[in-house]
Amino acid sequence: MGHYMLIAVGLGFVAYHATIKYTGQMLDEASMLYATATIIYGAFTVTIGDAGRRALSITVTITIVAVSIIHNCFSIERAFRLFFTSMVFVGFLQCVWLLSTRISDLVALKGMKRLAFYGFSEGVSLPKCAS
């Protein structure tokens, strides 16, 4: 599911940056929001049971849909950015916790850290290369 959401992020990016219209912007931002929610759901469901998964899926779905509707109807950009940044930060912290507590194979852990660092460094360097 996460891979499909990343495809949606790419399509939302194209919808906005090819047209620079408000509708495209909403598609771009909604796709990022939903993809991040999918990743957070996956990261948190590793350690909880079925009842917890159901509760988390309902909570995440209601929250994301509400934020999407509020953002689309009222265009409160600062609140959206704060919410999205908080989601990314919470997802990051959960992934760090999972890596430090659930991975016992040191070679695999080193590889995962290297992959995460590579992804982070590419994300930092690409915007600088484009300007």
State pLDDT tens for residues 74-121.
888 888 999 999 999 999 899 889 888 888 888 888 888 887 777 666
8, part of any domain: yes
Asked if residue 81 is part of any domain, the answer here is yes
Domain assignment of residue 120, yes or no:
no
Q: At what angle do helices 2-19 and 22-44 cross, to 10 degrees?
A: 160
Q: Count of domains in the chain?
A: 1
Between 53 and 14, name the one with better pLDDT.
53
CA 73 – CA 31 distance, rounded (Å)? 16
Confidence (pTM): 0.75
* 71 known ligand binder: no
Interatomic CA distance for residues 18 and 115, integer angstroms: 31
When pLDDT is averaged across residues 52-75 and rounded to a whole number, the result is 92
Residue 60 lies in a domain: yes
For 49, phi then psi, to 5°, come to -85, -175
Residue 41 within a domain:
yes
Confidence of residue 15 (pLDDT cuts 50, 70, 90): confident
Q: Which amino acid is residue 41, in one-letter code?
A: Y
Coil vs helix vs strand at 112 = helix
pLDDT, tens digit, for every residue of 38-47? 989 999 998 8
Domain-embedded: residue 121 = no
Q: Report if residue 62 sits inside a domain.
A: yes
Q: Say if 36 falls within a structural domain.
A: yes
Calculate the alpha carbon distances from 24 to 21, 30, 75, 77, 122 in Å: 5, 10, 13, 15, 25
Please give the residue range of the domain that contains residue 40.
2-93
